[in-house]
Amino acid sequence: MMDASAPAKLHFEHGHFRILWPGAFVICAATGAQIQLEDLRYWSVDRQEAYASPEAALMRAAQLGLTP
């Protein structure tokens, strides 16, 4: 049973993700914002992190020191 107030646990793959634990959303690794699963478009396979937008993905890369 899905708990709409709890985050989902996902395994991110190239071009898709698998739901390991049901939930209604995931948390953006850069901003902390909730991302509804139906709106999730951006993630890192290597870091297994979700992002709310392309800008959030770049922000996270900068946070981790991965940008020049």
Strands (E), 1-68: 9-13, 16-21, 25-27, 34-36, 42-44, 49-51
Give dist(CA 65, CA 3) in Å, integer: 35
pLDDT, tens digit (0-9, with 9 covering 90-100), for 47-62: 999 999 999 999 999 9
Cβ atoms of residues 27 and 35 within 8 Å: yes
Q: Note the pLDDT of residue 4.
A: 74
pLDDT, tens digit (0-9, with 9 covering 90-100), for 4-46: 789 999 999 999 999 999 999 999 999 999 999 999 999 999 9
Q: How confident is the model at residue 2 (pLDDT cuts 50, 70, 90)?
A: low
Cα angle 49, 51, 55; round to 5? 135
Give dist(CA 7, CA 64) in Å, integer: 23
